[in-house]
Amino acid sequence: MNSPTTPRSPYGLENHGIRNPGDIYWNLPTPMLYEQAIRRREGRLSHLGPLVVRTGQYTGRAPNDKFIVRDPANEGKIWWGEVNQVMEPEKFNTLRQRLLAYWQCKDLFVQDCFAGADPDYQVPIRVITETAWHNLFARNMFIQATPEQLEKHVPQFTVFHAPNFHAIPEVDGTRSEIFIVIHFQERLALIGGTHYAGELKKSVFTILNYLLPQQNVLSMHCSANMGSDGSVAIFFGLSGTGKTTLSTDISRVLIGDDEHGWSDHGVFNLEGGCYAKVIRLSPEAEPEIYQTTRRFGTILENVGYDSLTGRIDLDDETMTENTRASYPISHIGSATRQKMGGHPNNIIMLTADAFGVMPPIAKLTPEQAVYYFLSGYTAKVAGTEKGITEPKATFSTCFGAPFMPLFPRVYAQMLGDKIAKHNVNVWMINTGWSGGPYGVGKRISIGHTRALVRAVLNGTLANVPMRDDPSFGIAVPTACPDVPPEVLDPRSTWPDPAAYDAQAKKLAGMFIDNFKKYSEGLADNIKAAGPKVS
């Protein structure tokens, strides 16, 4: 069935090798995708309108099941290793042909859209799914095309999404039944074996992280917002560190909550929507995000749901800690529809320190900014990846190693150059633990973190005296409005200062050991910008 009411591209599915499918649903709008999802029993309508869905046994990303196809064009460009695993073209072709055979006589949903708000760097993409709700997810998360654009849309990259199709490792060269495979030369991504929708958005992000730096655009795993005076702030950080929460501020204009490019024009959103973690979401602390969980068009992934009343329970962690909401950015009243801003005035690197020894805020020199960006220290928060059940200290270079196909120094060099060119202030904010490590200490108050962010953005900290942190060599403010002085000194929050010193020394040593893999080709002043262990 080709719906006559929805515009479609002249670039047909036969161009992707799709033959003899069932009904094809082209670019369905949100209400029609709701109808299809509910009719097919893919989800339930909840109180006030969100669509509640379940992703089964996989409720987070599967980074160990992600591959890039080796080809002559990318052989020397890709950062091969544990993050970017090799798949040979022959195995990719086998997997693709088996998937195409599986799709024969299957109904398919097609969503033609764009990635990248800056018209000069916008990438036309196509997402083909076998489920209506994943197609709605693509419609939420990417930039919607106008009817006129749809009629001439030719995808530069296409994503096949088949969650009910499973790989056979000994045949397909995968590690499990799950696969996320990107073939840059053929401009195609294959996703299967998992219903977790985050794999869709992060696959497209990985593609952009390959394409944009080669056009002198820094692609970043960060959120961004803008003040009434046009001043822009970006927030680096892995999932669960607070990018969405801290950038979604009713007093500032939201540019985007997770993925951005930084070109000669300024900062621009790579997406058209938000994918927020919503476990224990507070209407007081996060009012704008909370309201999205009560709106039509929002998808609620693995959120607690009363099947009788249709009401949701955001405190329910029965399915996972990684409960999620996907919604168009227009659901946030303070968001800009242009999804673009100028060059940043402030960069904030968010870390969730599970050791409990990093200061809640520190000012970084340009050299330290590159060092800590390359280090990407944080804790993987429970549920964001398969197998993560509690916070786990990790180093994820560029604050997004699983999505970075090029060598880390490519992104780091671009960041350093842009910081220098635009005279950007760089800060590190710890949203993790204080008073002890995870399991002993407490998570730093969101109220205190918000106060620190306010002080950064309004310039309050510009003239505050700083002290040098003896373990990490970074400058820590000695005072901040609405933050008790003892909070700014993590050592004073520990009942045993000697235990703090030992833990800080341990973490500093981990930084030094981790950084060895990135030091080749870097300037000496960047190598020397990290912690010092006596």
List, as one string, the DSSP characters of 363-383.
EE-HHHHHHHHHH-EEEEPTT
Q: How many CB atoms lie within 10 A of CB 309?
A: 9
**In terms of Cα–Cα distance, which of 303, 222, 297, 289 is closest to 59?**
303
| Residues 452-482: tens digit of each pLDDT | 999 999 999 988 999 999 999 999 999 999 9
| Residues 262-297: tens digit of each pLDDT | 999 999 999 999 999 999 999 998 999 999 999 999
Sign of the torsion angle spanned by Cα atoms 525, 528, 531, 534: negative
Residue 519 has pLDDT above 70, yes or no: yes
Q: Which residues are catalytic?
A: 61, 202, 221, 239, 243-244, 258, 324
Side chain identity at 210, as an amino acid letter?
A: Y
pLDDT band at 239 (very low <50, low <70, confident <90, very high): confident
What's the burial of 443, exposed, middle or buried (CB within 10 Å: 0-12/13-18/19+)?
middle
Side chain identity at 282, as an amino acid letter?
A: S
| Residues 487-510: tens digit of each pLDDT | 999 999 999 999 999 999 999 999
The phi, psi pair for 447, rounded to 5°, reads -65, -40
Question: H or E segment at 425?
Answer: strand 425-430
CATH superfamily of 14-44+57-215: Phosphoenolpyruvate Carboxykinase, domain 1 (3.40.449.10)
Helix then strand count (H, E) for the chain reads: 14, 31
Residue 384 has pLDDT above 60, yes or no: no
pLDDT of res. 378: 87
Fold of 275-331: Phosphoenolpyruvate Carboxykinase; domain 2 (2.170.8)
pTM: 0.94
Residues facing 325 on adjacent strands: 276, 300
The phi, psi pair for 527, rounded to 5°, reads -60, -35
Residue 520 has pLDDT above 90, yes or no: no
Side chain identity at 72, as an amino acid letter?
A: P
Domain boundaries, the chain: 14-44+57-215, 218-272+338-527, 275-331
Question: H or E segment at 188?
Answer: strand 188-192
Q: In CATH, which of 3.30.1120.10, 3.40.50.300, 3.30.420.10, 3.90.228.20 is domain 218-272+338-527?
A: 3.90.228.20
Q: How far is CA 140 from the centre of its chain?
A: 15
pLDDT of res. 379: 76
